[in-house]
Amino acid sequence: MSSEFQRMIEDRRLTRFRADRNLILKEMREAEADPNEAKDSLRRNKFKWTTIQGYYSMFHVARALVYTKNLREKSHYALLVALRDLWVGELGTKLIEDFGNIMRLREEADYGLTFSEAGAIETVEAAEAFFNRARAVLKP
């Protein structure tokens, strides 16, 4: 357990709870819907919304993964920390780094109003890869 993960637990940014299978499946269903909407936004050159929708697909996947460990996040960053500690072996470093990068792109699009076609395409591709790997790992 990394010191950062331990700090998230101590600060209650990650909390323990009993996750049931229905909640995990609900997150995965939501994650599956967002990439289609992101692709539609991309076709319409709505790069900000593509980035936001693609990120939220990854967010819901990440929640499902962390829920399987009976933890709930209190922030997006805590979710990233939990993924690094709990899932790097099954997902690999690249997918977790992609989650962090896409989280940054979403923040820039949402709060800084900075977004691009290249970032939107990267987001859609990362979201699909993240979802597919998590689905294979979770076998919902």
The string of DSSP letters for 72-88 reads EESSHHHHHHHHHHHTH
d(CA 127, CA 56) in angstroms, rounded, equals 9
Choosing among 3.30.365.10, 3.30.1490.20, 1.10.30.50, 1.20.120.330, the CATH entry for 3-11+18-138 is: 1.20.120.330
Q: What confidence score (pLDDT) does residue 97 get? A: 98
Mean pLDDT, range 91-114, rounded to an integer: 97
Q: Sorting pLDDT into bands at 50, 70 and 90, what band is 140?
A: low
Map out the domains of the chain as residue ranges. Answer: 3-11+18-138
Mean pLDDT, range 87-109, rounded to an integer: 97
Q: What confidence score (pLDDT) does residue 44 get? A: 97
The amino acid sitting at 117 is E
Burial of 125 (0-12, 13-18, 19+ CB in 10 A): middle
